[in-house]
A and B are shown apart, each in its own frame.
Chain A
Amino acid sequence: MPEGFSALDFYYILPEIVVTGGALVVLLLSVVTPRRDDVLLGVSLATVAAALYWVAAFAGLDVTASKGLLAIDGFAAFFKVVALGSAAVTMLMSSPYLRVEGLRAGEYYFLILCATLGMMFMASGMDLITLFIGLETMAVSFYVLAGYLKPNPRSNEAAVKYFLLGAFSLGVLLYGMSILYGVTGTTSLEGTAAALAGQESGPLLVLAVVLVAAGMGFKIAAVPFHMWAPDVYEGAPTPVTAFLSVGSKAASFAMLVRIFLEGLPSLGAEWTALFWGLAVVTMTVGNIAALTQSNLKRMLAYSSIAHAGYLLMGVVAGTQRGVAAMLVYVGVYLFMQLGAFAVVAAMRRSDVVGDELKDLTGLSRRSPMMAFAMLFFMLSLGGIPPTAGFMGKVWLFGAAIDAGFVWLAVIAVANSAVSLYYYLRVVVFMWINDETAPASSPLVLGPAMTAALVVAVVGTVVFGLYPQFLFASAEAAATAIEGLGAGTSALR
């Protein structure tokens, strides 16, 4: 055992070890029993459940492990639950989708688990290198997953595009990190914060902030680093898109909060202004571009871009409340976004691609329950009560006002009003346009897809009616990030 490491360090990464082990077992099983998709799904889900168990067991801790490379705290636990939860729902909706597409399940679940592993390290990492390796693990898995529909040129395009732009953005990110290392002489976030404390910011540090922000901006699909998102979201297999837009985005936000709020608090003035601008541009461009989309996956891609803008508000606020609100919104976003993609995935039939808006025509007759589920997801994404999205938005906007960013909140509410227009278009297709639709057969859902939808609907509705549990968890998790201010209210 290397010097300075103890058995305890391995104990703390048990959830990650479980996921790694589970991933390898799935890969082996896919060779032994290649045709038993249900077995592979079961093993993958069991892996996720076991990892969740250990994450929950560590949830109350607040320690650093592995010589300060990893933080085992509430913040990490929150994002690990998000990563594992989104992986589980993604797997559930993948199983029927893979069957329709005729894809091999073994490697697929393996890659999903690998991506999850990366996300977990992104949530825990307290060192630039650890965070980068986590990010890279996740990204490489997604490059492959995006191109998983081998005969489909769009899927190939998505994979190549994501890979090329992703590699470029990682280069930018690394460049920024290397400047930080050059200035501070350490890659540890705590060390960086200590080295920069009280130091004047110079052009070099500003450059580092901009480069790191650009690299992270790519991962969270913030404008102007969002160009890849619509094409990749449209081309990738639908469950992969769902996972990409939820798991990957959430983990990247965890990493962003770690780097900027824990590592670079002394440069707050610089990056707050930067993220303020990014948030405004991101939500505005995302929502306006979504207005004209006729493809559901593209529309959800732009909507997901807009949501990155909302989430950035929590970072801009930079307060305890801001981080907590961001966490709440991540939790809410998990259910509504996965749910919306689950509906798109469920529309996929052997004869229908099902990702065009017009494919939803008459869904309220073909499958009333699915139409109601989609209604809830759309209302939630638009922030209409009694759904979870409303509670999340109230809290994000509240945090912005509390921190004195009133105009940011005003722009955000204007945006959420605009967004309702395209979310309601989906509703129009499902419920209202259907007199002109040809009579079509009812849609039947398999058990796995039903389970995915039920989880998403229950989360969306329950956290909309009674969000206390989510709020309390997020508040507890946010306390793990040290040095956050209280609100500096502008309301005097």
Chain B
Amino acid sequence: MSNFPYLLSLIMFTPLAGAVILLFVNKRNEDTIRWIANVTAGAGFLVSLPLWFSFDPAAAEYWHFVERLPWIPSIGAEYHLGVDGFSALLVLLTTLMGVIAILSSWTAITVRVKEYYVFMLVLQTGMIGAFVALDFLLFFVFWEVMLVPMYFLIGIWGSDNRLYSAIKFFLFTLVGSVVMLLGILAVYFYSHEVTGVYTFDITQFHELNMPFGLQWWVFLAFFLGFAVKVPMFPFHTWLPDAHTDAPTAGSVILAAVLLKMGTYGFIRFSLPILPEATVAFVPWVAALSIIGIIYGALVAMAQHDWKRLVAYSSVSHMGMVMLGMFALTPVGITGSIVQQLNHGISTGALFLIVGIVYERRHTREIAEYGGLSKIMPAFAAVFLIMTMSSIGLPTLNGFIGEVLILQGIFVVNMWWAAAAATGIVLGAAYMLWLYQRTMFGAIDNPKNENLPDLNLREWATFVPLIILAVWIGLYPKPFIDRLDTSVDHVMSRVDSEYDAVNAERSGTAAPVALARGGGSDDAGAPVRGGAR
């Protein structure tokens, strides 16, 4: 790791540096501002690449690229950064989506250009910081910092109901996170009582064995914070509003990265710090997830607003991610993480797609469109790929995630798997119906007759996503390999027998996670953990 000292700080602060530079540019030089923002985002992505190429999944240390400096010694808070396979992938997703979102805004944003890019770049820094922080207080700082730029992005550059949506987004998330803060403080003081040291060190919290009663309350506090962000039914109501009214790039970032904050939080904090409470809450979380999957899909089907439909599909997909995670089997958690990446890719792309037609026609009504495949064939092709990715067609990424999740759930509870499969079927229904209504048929609206197809810049935003979708769909091993230690770490916390079972099996078949999960029904331990 020593090849890249301070790599994580560099990744984190590159966007912020760009934002600071932008502050000194005259706001009338709009193209200069756009160039600086795009170059910064590109640089941000490039500097994050060592997270892929220099990441050694077999390293002895669990945390990679660790940085540790004192921050507030009085209370034991530190500037402590580090990633494991899971967060490294999420950081890469963030930096990539940052480039794409900023590139997609070139012509879409015409007012207050400078402020827009400043907020976009600050948002990047906040998101990356939250993924790499290994100090709970530092994490919380970044977690809340994200709210402010997103609030402005929706509030200033959003559409019709933007003010309402922006404040709703802000307050929903805020209520969840302040309650979570109390949970963090409870863990902090408990850890002091046990160890005698004041620290917010997440790696130490992962070793805590808190009494069940306290775990139960803290889980509830964390749950409120993370479930709002995911969002889980019934905390999802901010999401359709925020997504619909946000500018395209805002929706892309929101869907691709911000929602992952919630699921990241569960896997990084709730599961390892509060393992017993996690097991106790499994039926409740599973129930809410299943409701979310079915309900989200049904509501999506009833939408006549293109963007709102995609937003509700997010509720459904994220329910799937949560269900896979709370199966508490290695395969389920692996699938959950892979599906988080997939959702970022496909839903991010779907919001870009809506953005493209919205920029041309300034309406999101599905009924206004029809027959677009005849005049925008390239666009229709991209949309088709992303639709297929979203509904889980084999050879594309969504399939891998869904299969892993279903496999993980199935060994725990067949009925959950049945419910999840229903969600997938419904997903295919609303997506294909959307595709049919907008792309096929006759061009019955004269306003659509002269729409230009994708231009070069728009192609550039889609190409990386298509490549990733195919890559994960055909050869997911590099991704899954990186997740092994992360999944093992979480599993060994939530399942006391896991380490023993795992040791017995180590040295068996090749795709480790897959082999392990496939056998876990006869091993019994994870199943019991989940079904209790």
The distance in angstroms between the C-alpha atoms of A172 and B144, with both chains bound, is: 44
The answer to whether B441 has its CB under 8 Å from any CB of chain A is no
Q: Contacts A413-B182, A428-B163, A489-B189 known; A385 to B141 CB distance under 8 Å?
A: yes
B171 interfacial contact with A, CB 8 Å? yes
Contact of A355 with B by CB under 8 A:
no
Q: Does A191 contact B (CB under 8 A)?
A: no
**Interface residues of A: mostly helix, strand, loop or mixed?**
helix
The answer to whether B178 and A431 have CB atoms under 8 Å apart is: no
Binary contact track A457-468/B, C-beta < 8 Å → 1, others 0: 000000000111
B193 within 8 A of A: yes
B211 at the interface (CB under 8 A from A): yes
Does A395 count as interface, using CB distance less than 8 angstroms?
yes
Q: Shortest beta-carbon distance, B335 to chain A, in Å?
A: 34
Chain B contacts with A in 132-154, Cβ cutoff 8 A: 137, 140-141, 144-145, 147-148, 151-152
Determine if B185 and A401 form an interchain contact, defined as CB atoms under 8 angstroms apart: yes
Q: List B contacts of A417 (CB < 8 A).
A: 171, 174-175, 178
Within 8 A of A (CB), among B164-214: 166-167, 170-171, 174-175, 178-179, 181-182, 185-186, 188-190, 193, 211, 214
Are B185 and A492 neighbours in the complex by a CB distance under 8 Å? Answer: no
User: In this assembly, does B507 line the interface, its C-beta being within 8 Å of a C-beta of chain A?
Assistant: no
Closest A residue by C-beta to B176: A417
Q: Are A492 and B189 within 8 A (Cβ)?
A: no
Query: Which of B145, B147, B155 is A432 in contact with, Cβ under 8 Å?
Result: B155
Cβ contacts under 8 Å, A467 to chain B: 72
Partner of A471, one of B72, B179, B193: B72
Tell me the complex Cα distance, A398–B175, Å: 17
Residues of A contacting B115 with CB < 8 Å? 364
A417 to B224, CA, bound (A): 14
* CB-contacts of A405-449 with B (<8 A): 406, 409-410, 413-414, 416-417, 420-421, 424, 428, 431-432
Partner of A468 from the list B73, B178, B179 (CB cut-off 8 Å) is B73
Quick check: B151 and A424 within 8 Å, CB to CB? yes
CA distance A413 to B178 in the complex (A): 6
- Is the CB–CB distance between B189 and A398 below 8 Å? yes
* Contact assessment for B171 and A398 in the assembled complex, using a CB-CB cutoff below 8 Å: no
* A379 neighbours in B (Cβ, 8 Å): 148
- Cα distance A391–B71 when bound, in Å? 13
Quick check: B156 and A491 within 8 Å, CB to CB?
A: no
Give bound CA distance, A152 to B74, whole Å: 49
Q: Which residue of B lies closest to A398 (CB)?
A: B185
Q: Is the CB of A432 within 8 A of B193?
A: no
B interface size (C-beta, 8 A):
37
How many Å from the CB of A55 to the closest CB on chain B?
22
> Which of A385, A471, A491 lies in contact with B190, CB distance below 8 A?
A491
| A475 adjacent to chain B (CB < 8 Å) | yes
Sorting the interface of chain A by its residue count into under 10, 10 to 19, 20 to 34 or 35 or more gives 35 or more
Partner of B182, one of A401, A424, A468: A401
- Which of chain A's residues have a CB closer than 8 A to the CB of B167? 421, 424, 428
A397 within 8 A of B: yes
Give the distance to chain A from B261, nearest Cβ to Cβ, in Å.
15
Pair B171/A421 contact, Cβ less than 8 Å: yes
Taking CB as reference atom, which chain B residue is nearest A417?
Answer: B175
- Asked if residues A413 and B179 are in contact (CB atoms below 8 Å), the reply is yes
Distance A251 CA – B115 CA, assembled complex (angstroms): 40
Shortest distance between the CB of A217 and any CB in chain B (Å): 26
Nearest CB of B to A408, in Å: 11
Contact between B193 and A394, CB atoms less than 8 A apart: no
Asked if B181 and A394 sit within 8 Å, CB to CB, the answer is: yes
Name the distance in Å between B13's Cβ and chain A's nearest Cβ. 13
Q: Verify A410–B189 contact, CB threshold 8 A.
A: no
Find out whether the CB atom of A386 lies under 8 angstroms from the CB atom of B145.
Answer: yes
What residues of chain B lie closer than 8 Å to A208, measured between beta carbons? none
Q: How many A-B residue pairs have CB under 8 A?
A: 93
Our pick among B145, B163, B181, B211 for the contact of A492 (Cβ within 8 Å) is B211
* Minimum Cβ distance to chain A for residue B183 (Å): 10
Does B75 touch A at the CB level, under 8 Å? Answer: yes
Which partner residue on chain B sits nearest A413 by CB separation? B178
CB pair B75–A471 under 8 Å, yes or no, is yes
Contacting residues, chain A, for B186 (C-beta < 8 A)? 401, 406, 491
The minimal Cβ–Cβ distance linking A117 to chain B, given in whole angstroms, is: 32
CA distance A402 to B189 in the complex (A): 7
Tell whether, in the assembled complex, residue A413 and residue B181 are in contact, meaning their CB atoms are under 8 Å apart: yes
Q: Is A370 an interface residue (CB 8 A)?
A: no
Is A487 close to B, CB under 8 A?
Answer: yes
| Contacts A413-B181, A489-B193 given; does A471 touch B170 at CB 8 Å | no
Within 8 A of B (CB), among A453-485: 466-468, 471-472, 475
A384 at the interface (CB under 8 A from B): yes
Are A428 and B155 in contact, CB atoms less than 8 angstroms apart?
A: yes
Partner of A384, one of B147, B166, B189, B190: B147
Contacts of A364 on B, CB cut-off 8 Å?
A: 115
Q: Is the pair A410, B182 in contact by a Cβ cutoff of 8 Å?
A: yes
**Which A-chain residue is minimally distant from B70 (CB atoms)?**
A468
CA distance A420 to B169 in the complex (A): 12
Q: Which residues of B contact A468 (CB under 8 A)?
A: 71-74
**Residue of chain A at shortest CB distance from B140:** A385
Given contacts A489-B189, A491-B214, contact A409 B182 (CB under 8 A): yes
Q: B74: which A residues are within 8 A, CB to CB?
A: 468, 471-472, 475
Q: Can you sample 20 A-B contacts with CB below 8 Å?
A: A385-B140, A386-B141, A390-B141, A398-B188, A401-B189, A410-B179, A410-B182, A421-B167, A424-B170, A428-B167, A431-B155, A431-B156, A432-B156, A466-B71, A466-B72, A468-B73, A471-B74, A489-B193, A491-B214, A492-B214
Residue positions of A touching B, CB distance < 8 A: 364, 379, 383-386, 390-391, 394-395, 397-398, 401-402, 406, 409-410, 413-414, 416-417, 420-421, 424, 428, 431-432, 466-468, 471-472, 475, 487, 489, 491-492
* Given A386-B141, A421-B171; 7 other pairs, CB 8 A cutoff: A413-B179, A417-B178, A428-B155, A468-B72, A471-B72, A471-B75, A489-B189
